[in-house]
Structure 1
Amino acid sequence: MLRQDTARIDTDSTGSGPQVEPERNGSSTLDIQQELNRLEEIVLDSPRFLGRTLIDEDRLLEQLDVVRLNLPGAFEEVQEIIRSKEQIVLQAGQYARDIIDAAEERAEQILDEIGIVRQAKVEADRFRQDVLTECEEARERTLTEIERLRRQAQQEIEEMRRSALAECEAIEDGADDYADRVLENIETQLADMLRVIHNGRSQLEQNQNSKPTRQT
């Protein structure tokens, strides 16, 4: 049990009694360990007599005072270590939560990006299908228009052929009529010429018949 006499740890006005100050060369934990080792050395180095250890009371109490003075600092350091540990744990927990939040946010972004990519793929597929449909419809319209133009051209060609045949027939009929009229005109002219010739010959015969016969 520690002494209640504080004269051993405080310097009085006469300077009697040793002044004990806690060591500050290292950490409090290291000081306590060293002082406990010294306390153990005091016990182990003390002489033995009749099976008992003779311990220097003043030296033992002085060493106990040193330990007692260093205990508050050691406890404070331990508490500081505990607080630091708790702070580190809190910081680690917050850091872990931040990492988890960032990972969840990134996962949501990735999911959103995947959704955007999927939506873009759906839009691209739909656009491609629309283009294919429009191309097919345009091809069908083109083929239909080509067929319509072909039929129209055939009809126009057929009409032109019939018109040409009709014109040819009309030309042939007109040529026959023209030739008939020309031949008829020639025939009339020839008939007139034959009549003139016939009349001329008749006149010549009459003239010859009306002349007197010469006597020899």
Structure 2
Amino acid sequence: MVLASPRIPLTKRTLIDEEKLLEQLDFVRVSLPAAFQEALAILQQKEEVLLQAEEYGQQIVDAAQAKRAQILDESDIIRQAEREAEKIQHQVQQECEAMMEETLAEIDRKRRICQQEIDEMRRQAIAEADEIAQGADNYADNVLANIEQELDDMLRIVHNGRQQLYADTPPHRDPNSHKKK
């Protein structure tokens, strides 16, 4: 209405029809409570939508934070599991190395014991062989001494027998005869 009304030249004023303006003001006055009600309803709806949007946004933020915390927890669990696995692997490796060292030391100790036993058995075998050889030599010497004694006895018997043979007859000298003195 203001824009459609004629303007007074050289001024910034506009001529407005008073009746039309009053009619419009009455219409606005009558319509205003309904418009206010509508505006209030729209504002309430806007507030409710904003609250719902804020709640939904908060739920999304909470869910995202929970997911982030879960992922962090899972990654912490994974890192902790990896650290634990490395620790166990290192411990097992140390235990294996220690067992290997113990086994090698035990093998070396048993090898030395076996070598000592072999050396002792060799010494005993040599000693027994020497003892057997000495016994055999002593036995042979005893047998030979007995044979020698028996031969000496036999020679004496032979010599005595010859002497008795010649005791009754004069001895004639045989160049082949042998006398034992």
Q: Same fold (TM over 0.5)?
A: yes
Separation in 2, partners of 1:67, 1:151? 120
Query: Is 1:204 the counterpart of 2:156 in the alignment?
Result: no
Identity, in percent, stands at 52
Unaligned runs of 5+ in 2: 2-19, 171-181
Please state how far the C-alpha of 1:202 moved relative to its aligned partner. Answer: 2.8
| Equivalent position to 2:87, from 116, 120, 126 | 126
Please state how far the C-alpha of 1:162 moved relative to its aligned partner. Answer: 1.4
Deviates more, 1:101-110 or 1:63-72: 63-72
Separation in 2, partners of 1:139, 1:161? 32
Which runs of structure 2 are paired with 1:132-151 in the superposition (5 Å)? 132-151=93-112
Please state how far the C-alpha of 1:140 moved relative to its aligned partner. Answer: 0.5
Unaligned runs of 5+ in 1: 1-39, 41-56, 211-216
Separation in 2, partners of 1:99, 1:126? 39
Query: Is 1:190 the counterpart of 2:143 in the alignment?
Result: no
TM-score w.r.t. length of structure 1: 0.62
Separation in 2, partners of 1:82, 1:200? 170
| Equivalent position to 1:104, from 54, 65, 81 | 65
Specify the structure having the higher radius of gyration (Cα): 1
Deviates more, 1:153-162 or 1:129-138: 153-162
| Equivalent position to 1:152, from 91, 110, 113 | 113
Q: Which of structures 1 and 2 has the larger relative contact order (alpha carbons within 8 angstroms, sep 6+)?
A: 1
What is the RMSD computed on CA atoms of the aligned residues? 3.1
Separation in 1, partners of 2:42, 2:56? 20
